[in-house]
Structure 1
Amino acid sequence: MPKGVIKRRPRTRAALLEAALAVFAAHGFRAASIEQICERAGFTRGAFYSNFSSKEELFLALFDAHSERVIARIGTLVDSVDAAQLDLAALVHLLSDVEPAERDWYLVTTEFTLHAIRDPQAAWVLAQHDARLRAELARCLTGHLARAGRTLTVDAEELARLLVAIREGGLAQSYVEPDQLPPGHLERRFLTPLLTALTVPIADPSPTNPMAAGD
């Protein structure tokens, strides 16, 4: 493959992903056509098929990119807080943040989930991507809680499932009733007591009694 094509491929792929998100959000996953995506991105069908085999593969690439971006963004926000100031309330405030652009992604991922519920093969593939996201969420949540001086008393991946359910269920209500329930409100209201109940303080590894060190 010519070097020029190799250099252009990441830009082409990025443009197709950006166009697909907009087209899926505007028309729905099932109604959106590959031609509409290509037209918005300014590429031919050939460019599409040199990067993706189907709309499903394109959505899953969007899913992975969105997951990585959200996790990285939260990590950056957590890292920006001084360790002495990072308690559960501060951590929950960061976890509850919802970007305005999240609405488009919510529309796209909700419709694809409905598609997957009807299609066993799509469900199986989506479940694999969901599982990788949960594992990464669990790993990051465990680390963020440790920075806040807490450790979980429940399985981290099961808690990740619950947090995703709260986020997605809350957003569904927020986008229907934005004036009554701003995005992130339920998390800000209830996650601190929930995480308090499901964690314990990390024990200080250094003995407070010098004599205890020799016991």
Structure 2
Amino acid sequence: MPKGVTRRRPQTRARLLESALAAFAELGFHATSIEEICDRAGYTRGAFYSNFASKDELFFALFDENAEKVLERFERAATEIDPSATWQQQIATVLAAAGPGDRNWYLTSMEFSLHAIRDPRAAAILAEHDAKLRAALTGIVAGIFDRFGLALTIDPDLFARLVVAIREGGRAQSYVEPDRLGLGELERLFLPMVLEAVSTTD
């Protein structure tokens, strides 16, 4: 491959990912064609297929990109929590952290999850990516627990699954009724109770 093309490839890939996420959020994962993504990005189908084998593969690249941003947000929130709050409130605040691009990703990931439920192959790959994200999340939570001399009394992976369930369920309701339920409100309200129930002095 010519050197010029090689240097442009990361930029091309990033532009395709950005355009795909916007299209998925606006039109839906299934309704968005590869042509639509390419048109928005200003590239040809050849550029798409030189970076991704399919829309599914592109989605998982978006998943990994978003997971990195989410974990960075959690880690940053963990260093900025209010020391005057209770440890339960501090941890809940970290787990409720939201970002400006959350809505587009939520719309895209929820639709893909429905697709994966119907497609065992997609489900298996999604489960692998979910597991890596949960493992990283439990690592962050474990660090905060250590700071307070605490330990979970349940399987950390199950705890991470519960946190994800509360976050995703809460966001669904917040996006439907933004004037009634703020983003992260359910996490900040109920996770302290959950944390109290599943933790003990280490």
The TM-score range, normalised by the shorter chain, is: over 0.9
RMSD: 1.8
Q: Which residue of 1 aligns with 2:151?
A: 151
Task: Structure 1: state its 5+ residue gaps.
Answer: 203-215
Quick one: which amino acid aligns to residue 88 of structure 1? Q
Whether 2:17 is the aligned partner of 1:36: answer: no
> Could you tell me how far apart the structure 2 residues matched to 1:172 and 1:82 are?
27
* SS class of match (1:6): helix
Give the superposition deviation at 1:181.
1.4
Q: Which residue identity is paired with 1:174? A: S
- Residue 144 of structure 1 aligns to a residue in which SS? helix
Whether the aligned pair in 1 keeps the contact of 2:24 and 2:32 (CA below 8 Å) is yes
2:108 matched to 1:108?
yes
Partner of 1:176 in structure 2? Answer: 176
Give distance in 1, aligned partners of 2:174 and 2:47.
Answer: 38
Structure 2 unaligned blocks of 5 or more: none
Inter-partner Cα distance in structure 1 for 2:32 and 2:89: 41
Structure-2 residue corresponding to 1:206: none
- Of all paired residues, the percent bearing the same amino acid is 55
SS at 2:12's partner residue?
helix
- Structure 1 Cα separation of the partners of residues 149 and 85 of structure 2: 11
Distance between the aligned counterparts of 1:161 and 1:32, measured in 2?
Answer: 30
Equivalent-residue separation in structure 1 for 2:155 and 2:149 (angstroms): 17
Judge conservation of contact 1:91–1:148 (CA < 8 Å) in 2.
Answer: no
User: Which residue does 2:25 correspond to in 1?
Assistant: 25
What one-letter code is carried by the residue in structure 1 that aligns with 2:71?
I
Deviating more after overlay: 23-32 vs 122-131: 122-131
TM-score normalized by the length of structure 2: 0.93
* Alpha-carbon contact 2:95-2:163 (below 8 Å) kept: no
One-letter code aligned to 1:69: K
Q: Does the residue aligned with 1:43 lie in a helix, a strand or coil?
A: coil
Aligned equivalent of 1:13 = 13
What is the match of residue 97 of structure 1?
97
